[in-house]
């Protein structure tokens, strides 16, 4: 049984991806900071073997220790889904909160690096593996007040391309899946728990569901070994660009 390691599996896209990959025949390592969510997901996925790891991706030592401490049956990770992350705040650059900037850059960029580097020794030694980075349309396309979030996802896009080059000699595939608007806890986190403001982000159109993105990720990682779907942009039908969503009047 192949092993998939999904970061940010306590919610949204990561959770749906864990479910989709379990259905596709993988056993799973699921990670996040909310232990109770991970335990509930593991119970839901039984009898599929699932190992939950609780760490903050920003904490390099915690990430390394968690990966080193994986039980033998889960230690050989075939597929890494670098999904943990999100947005904090939506302000023009002149009034943005540097603590939000740090949170985004530390989780979306440094966190991805921390987890990837912790898992690469095994993949390079085995000369196989698959790393899927979850970017965003925000990494391809600027929108007002998106500044640091957009920059963090643009960094993910360039890291994906450069990682792919670095890992070529090891037969490790590196791909990126970039969603547009997906209705998850993303906007509630961005707006610091303001559920009304978060709900307005998805009003008047049909956003992607986390399961839609998970389907794409599952397809990408189940292609034959010689095929790498390197770069996917998946949008709601009503979305044409990061800041262009066609909304029906209420
Ligand atoms: P959610 O807020 O629903 O899920 C985010 C997940 O990331 C949670 O499981 C959370 O777990 C985890 N996470 C966040 N920060 C950390 C951290 N510092 N350490 C460990 N885990 C962390 O949002 P989505 O599912 O929508 O987001 C998943 C990814 O998809 C993100 O990278 C996001 O940027 C990207 N994305 C989202 C889009 C959208 O419209 N929703 C569109 C494009 C990309 P916990 O809180 O338990 O730690
Ligand atoms: C999430 C999509 O457009 O809200 O990455 O930034 S967006």
- The answer, yes or no, to whether any atom of ligand 2 lies below 6 A from the CB of 137, is yes
Residue 216, in any domain of the structure: yes
Which of 11, 139, 235 is the best mutation target for the ligand 1 pocket, counting ligand atoms within 8 Å of the beta carbon and taking the most? 11
Burial class (CB in 10 A: 0-12, 13-18, 19+), 98: exposed
* Whole-number Å distance between alpha carbons of 49 and 120: 22
Distance 168 CA to ligand 2 centre (A): 30
| CATH, residue 51 | 3.40.50.720
Mean pLDDT within 213-233: 98
Strand 27-32 with 79-82, pairing: unpaired
> Cβ atoms within 10 A of the Cβ of 165, count?
9
Taking the CA of residue 181 as reference, the ligand 2 atom at the shortest distance is 2
Which of 39, 140, 186, 212 is the best mutation target for the ligand 1 pocket, counting ligand atoms within 8 Å of the beta carbon and taking the most? 186
pLDDT (0 to 100) of residue 19: 99
pLDDT (0 to 100) of residue 76: 98
Instruction: Give the structural domain span for 226.
Output: 3-245
pTM (2 decimals)? 0.98
Residue 131, pLDDT > 90, answer: yes
Q: Is the peptide bond before 4 cis (omega within 30 degrees of 0)?
A: no
> Cβ atoms within 10 A of the Cβ of 21, count?
28
Alpha carbon of residue 174 to chain centroid: 13
The greatest distance separating any two alpha carbons of the chain, rounded to the nearest whole angstrom, comes to: 56
Domain count, the chain: 1
pLDDT band with cut points at 50, 70 and 90 for residue 250: confident
Distance 76 CA to ligand 2 centre (A): 33
Residue 145, in any domain of the structure: yes
Name the residue with the closest Cα to ligand 1, atom 29. 83
CA 101-234-177 angle, to 5 degrees, is 60
Residue 184, in any domain of the structure: yes
Helices 12-23/35-45 angle, 10° precision: 20
* Whole-number Å distance between alpha carbons of 134 and 49: 24
pLDDT (0 to 100) of residue 154: 99
Distance 83 CA to ligand 1 centre (A): 6
Instruction: Provide the Cα torsion 239, 232, 82, 193; round to 10°.
Output: 0
Mean of per-residue pLDDT scores for the chain: 98
Over the stretch 52-70, which tens digit does the pLDDT of each residue have? 999 999 999 999 999 999 9
Mean pLDDT within 16-44: 98
Residue 250, in any domain of the structure: no
Residue 79, in any domain of the structure: yes
Residue 234, in any domain of the structure: yes
Mean pLDDT within 187-206: 98
* Whole-number Å distance between alpha carbons of 151 and 78: 29
* 81 and 5 Cβ atoms separated by less than 8 Å: yes
Residue 249, pLDDT > 90, answer: no
Closest CA to 172 of 205, 235, 244, 124: 124
Residue 131, in any domain of the structure: yes
> What would the two tokens of residue 132 be?
């899927």
Name the residue with the closest Cα to ligand 2, atom 5. 136
Residue 22, in any domain of the structure: yes
138: left (phi over 0), alpha (psi -120 to 50) or beta: alpha
Residues whose CB is less than 8 angstroms from the CB of residue 49 and which lie 6 or more positions away in sequence, other chains included: 1, 27, 28, 73, 74
Over the stretch 87-124, which tens digit does the pLDDT of each residue have? 999 999 999 999 999 999 999 999 999 999 999 999 99
């Amino acid at each position: 049984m192949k092993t998939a390691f999904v970061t940010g599996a306590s919610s949204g896209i990561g959770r749906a991806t864990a479910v989709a990959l379990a259905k596709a025949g993988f056993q799973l390592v699921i990670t996040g900071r909310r232990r109770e969510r991970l335990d509930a997901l593991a119970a839901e996925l039984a009898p599929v073997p699932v190992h939950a790891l609780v760490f903050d991706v920003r904490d390099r030592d915690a990430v390394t220790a968690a990966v080193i401490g994986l039980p033998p049956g889960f230690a050989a990770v075939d597929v890494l889904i670098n999904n943990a992350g999100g947005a904090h705040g939506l302000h023009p650059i002149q009034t943005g909160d540097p603590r939000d900037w740090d949170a985004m850059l530390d989780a979306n960029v440094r966190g991805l690096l921390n987890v990837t580097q912790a898992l690469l020794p095994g993949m390079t030694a085995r000369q196989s593996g698959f790393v899927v980075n979850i970017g965003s349309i925000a990494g391809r396309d600027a929108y007002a007040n998106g500044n640091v979030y957009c920059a963090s996802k643009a960094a993910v896009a360039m890291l994906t391309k450069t990682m792919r080059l670095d890992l070529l000699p090891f037969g490790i595939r590196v791909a990126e899946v970039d969603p547009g608007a997906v209705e998850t806890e993303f906007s509630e986190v961005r707006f610091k728990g303001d559920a009304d403001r978060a709900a307005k982000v998805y009003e008047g159109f049909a956003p992607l569901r986390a399961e839609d993105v998970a389907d794409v990720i599952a397809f990408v990682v189940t292609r034959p070994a010689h095929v790498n779907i390197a770069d996917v942009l998946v949008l709601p039908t009503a979305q044409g660009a990061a800041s262009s969503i066609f909304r029906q009047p209420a």
